[in-house]
Homo-oligomer: A and B are copies of this chain.
Amino acid sequence: MHITSTSNPRIKAIRALRQRKERERTGLFFVEGIRIVTEAIQTNAEIESLVVAPDLLTSQHARELVRAQQKRGVTLLEVSRALFESIAAKDNPQGIGAVVRQQWADLSGLEDLTGLLRLWLALDAAQDPGNIGTILRTSDAVGGAGVILLGHAADPHDPSAVRASMGALFSQRLVRANWDEFLVWKQQHAVALVGTSGEAEHAYTDVIYPSPLVLLMGSEQKGLSPDQQAACDLVVKVPMVGRSDSLNLAVATGVVLYEIFNQRRHRADAIRLGSEPMSP
Interface residues of A (CB under 8 A from B): 39, 43, 130, 134, 137-143, 164, 166-168, 171, 205, 238-244, 246-248, 250-252, 254-255, 258, 261-262, 265
- Considering the chains assembled together, what is the distance between the CA atoms of A244 and B139 in angstroms? 10
State whether B167 touches A248 (Cβ < 8 A): no
Q: Give me 17 other A-B pairs in contact (C-beta within 8 A), A168-B244, A247-B254 excluded.
A: A39-B243, A130-B130, A134-B250, A137-B247, A138-B247, A138-B248, A140-B243, A140-B244, A141-B242, A166-B246, A167-B244, A171-B243, A238-B258, A239-B261, A251-B254, A254-B254, A255-B255
State whether B243 touches A134 (Cβ < 8 A): no
- Considering the chains assembled together, what is the distance between the CA atoms of A166 and B168 in angstroms? 27
Chain B, Cβ-Cβ closest to A241: B143
CB distance from A168 to the nearest CB of B (A): 6
State whether B168 touches A242 (Cβ < 8 A): yes
CB distance from A200 to the nearest CB of B (A): 15
State whether A241 touches B130 (Cβ < 8 A): no
State whether A141 touches B240 (Cβ < 8 A): yes
State whether A241 touches B205 (Cβ < 8 A): no
Chain B, Cβ-Cβ closest to A251: B254
Contacting residues, chain B, for A142 (C-beta < 8 A): 240-242
State whether A244 touches B205 (Cβ < 8 A): no
State whether B243 touches A168 (Cβ < 8 A): yes
CB distance from A253 to the nearest CB of B (A): 8
State whether A167 touches B130 (Cβ < 8 A): no
Contacting residues, chain B, for A240 (C-beta < 8 A): 141-142
State whether A242 touches B134 (Cβ < 8 A): no
Chain B, Cβ-Cβ closest to A165: B244
State whether A205 touches B262 (Cβ < 8 A): yes
Chain B, Cβ-Cβ closest to A35: B244
Contact of A244 among B137, B244, B248, B258 (CB under 8 A): B137
Contacting residues, chain B, for A248 (C-beta < 8 A): 134, 137-138, 164, 250, 254
Chain B, Cβ-Cβ closest to A140: B242
Contact of A255 among B171, B243, B258 (CB under 8 A): B258
- Considering the chains assembled together, what is the distance between the CA atoms of A262 and B243 in angstroms? 18
Contact of A243 among B167, B238, B244, B254 (CB under 8 A): B167
**A142-B242, A242-B143, A265-B239 known; A251+B168 contact, CB < 8 A:** no
Contacting residues, chain B, for A205 (C-beta < 8 A): 262
- Considering the chains assembled together, what is the distance between the CA atoms of A138 and B255 in angstroms? 11
